A and B are shown apart, each in its own frame.
Chain A
Amino acid sequence: MLLSFASLAVGLFLLLAALLITLIQLPDKILILGLIVTVPVLLLMVAYLTYAERKIIGYIQIRIGPNRVGPRGGLQPIADAIKLMFKEIILPRTSNRFLFISAPILAMAPALAAWAVVPFAKDWVFSDINAGLLYILAMTSIGVYGVIIAGWASNSKYAFLGALRSAAQIVAYEIAMGFALVGVLMASGSLNLSAIVEAQAGKFGFFSWFWLPLFPLFVIYFISGVAETNRAPFDVAEGESEIVAGFHVEYSGMLFAVFFLAEYLNMILISALTAIMFMGGWLSPFVGTPIEVWFSWVPGVVWFFGKTAFFLFLLLWFRATFPRYRYDQIMRLGWKVFIPITIVWLLVVGVFILAELPPWFSIEGGI
């Protein structure tokens, strides 16, 4: 109990320090307001994503799902959060205490930090940096430290196996993910996420987005994203039926909840990034069609969150449909199938660009 208060105090202090630094450094009040709004909204999205997951998977399996707390079970995530907060945090006696407590924080921090460069709509972005795509890739790749450190610091065989599996899996799928992003970079000619969205604007609305010319990369990116977030069918790091719960066996209470938060934040992030890089971000899908004017009043952020929600639904659907991959199958898929396909498709994209294939790569339209 004392420890949880201590970590809470440290967290609050860091938050205050970060706020103070931004206050001093940037007189831009809108940015601070944005931060104060965005973080709670993201956390609320996580809470209701767990509710959506239980409901959707319930309906897919012809059950009802949670329906007791609040109308149609709508207050279930709040009840769960309160329950987790008041549970005891158990520290295994032989664990490495410092690393054991810092592991969930290390999982959570990059998942939140990556949102700094995500454009929610035109000019709605905290930091419009030019190396945004690289920053995203770096942040998603250091999320694995939370899992590895948790597995090692727990000093438990199951947790350790989970950590090893996760490390190998992340390294394998990050390469395919990186190559898929190279395709996006070639097609848009920029590493800036806003510029990538702008490059997808065209006369054909839905069909001028990158998902069509980069279709194999789009599919591979999304599947690698599922693998990178340790979601089913790639959840061998948890594997509750083989290694009980993998890297977070020894965690309880709030520390466990933070791992959960990080996983769901990463899910939202991967869905948002897929929407930005292949599905035109905040762009309307009806540009160029007769019904374009009917939807011109819809703000871009609605399209963005709509697309994100679609990919989130796909993630839940995958979990309800597919059995878990075997470990060697995961490695085979990552190294022997995805990486060769991405490399071949990069050559094809190069040919597209040289041929100025309309409408995506014609000079006046895209680049």
Chain B
Amino acid sequence: MITLVFYCLSAILVFAAARVITVRNPVQAALFLVLAFFTSAGIWLLLEAEFLAIALVLVYVGAVMVLFLFVVMMLDINTDSVREGFARYFPVGGLVGVLILMEMILVLSSTFFNKKAENISLDVPLVDNTTALGRVLYVDYLYAFEIAAVILLVAMVAAITLTLRNRKESKRQYPEQQVKVTRAERIKLVDMTSDGN
């Protein structure tokens, strides 16, 4: 049963991943990427890594890809002009592709991944894997985790400062001033006779 589900999910994953790079429309490509994330989360669930699977859906499908779609939907990409540069960039792209392929081959053929599947037992942890992951992150590798967090924060601050512009002509509201407004500042009662003269 689990094998059947695995093959179904893998087939969908491979199909979706292939469509991400072959489909013309960028929005459809992003949606196929969402599908790919979702099915890989399903495969992780089969491995009983429920925390990682749900975190993948939560972070990538729920937040990152929504932002991504948000940007991609607003772009008006002309596919012809993109394809013009294809021949010019092909050598560089091909080189990077070959490099990545060689790295993958080196890593996957190393001894670490060459253990037989039956040697890796699935029922190792006595605690559930949310707890296990928490211990690894916040007890064993706390400093590494915090350094990674600080690096991300620095990157975020840098990105914001790089793109921040204070334009003189832009108009904005100041809610704190709006809240402080009193009746006396806005309303003036005038005595008049009822016929207006």
Contact = CB atoms under 8 A, between A and B. Distances in A.
B57 A152 contact: no
Contacts of A170: 66
A345 interface: no
A343 to B, nearest CB: 14
A163 interface: yes
A129 B50 contact: yes
Interface stretch (B68-76, B109-117, B155-163): B68-76
Given A25-B1, A152-B27, A141 B50 contact: no
B58 A144 contact: no
Interface string A130-150: 110011011001101100110
Contacts of A302: none
Interface in A140-190: 141-142, 144-145, 148-149, 152, 160, 163-164, 167-168, 170-171, 174
Contacts of B66: 141, 144-145, 148, 167, 170-171
Nearest to B74: A164
A329 B130 CA distance: 37
A63 B58 CA distance: 43
Contacts of A167: 66-67, 69-70
- A interface bracket (residues with beta carbon within 8 Å of B): 20 to 34
A130 B128 contact: yes
A359 B62 CA distance: 36
A310 to B, nearest CB: 28
B6 interface: no
Contacts of B51: 131, 134
Contact of B67 (A25, A134, A160, A171): A171
Nearest to A141: B62
A136 to B, nearest CB: 10
A171 B67 CA distance: 8
A111 interface: no
B130 A130 contact: yes
Contacts of A291: none
Q: Is the interface of B mostly helix, strand, loop or mixed?
A: helix
Interface residues of B, number: 23
Interface in B44-61: 50-51, 54-55, 57-58, 61
Given A164-B73, A167-B70, A332-B175, A141 B55 contact: no
A269 to B, nearest CB: 15
A298 interface: no
B40 to A, nearest CB: 14
A135 B70 contact: no
Interface in A209-232: none
Residue of B27, B54, B70 with most chain A CB atoms under a 10 A cut-off: B54
B48 to A, nearest CB: 11
B58 to A, nearest CB: 4
A191 interface: yes
Contact of B62 (A142, A164, A332): A142
A6 interface: no
Residue of B57, B58, B61 with most chain A CB atoms under a 10 A cut-off: B58
B92 interface: no
B13 interface: no
A138 B1 contact: no
A149 B57 contact: no
Nearest to A326: B173
A227 to B, nearest CB: 14
A163 B55 contact: no
A24 interface: yes
A137 B51 CA distance: 12
Contacts of A171: 63, 66-67, 70
B54 A131 contact: yes
B17 interface: no
Contacts of B61: 138, 141-142
A168 B73 contact: no
Interface of A: 24-25, 99, 129-131, 134-135, 137-138, 141-142, 144-145, 148-149, 152, 160, 163-164, 167-168, 170-171, 174, 191, 328-329, 332
23 contacts: A24-B1, A25-B1, A99-B31, A130-B50, A131-B54, A134-B51, A134-B58, A137-B62, A138-B54, A138-B57, A138-B58, A141-B63, A144-B62, A144-B66, A148-B66, A148-B73, A163-B73, A164-B70, A164-B73, A168-B70, A171-B63, A171-B67, A328-B173
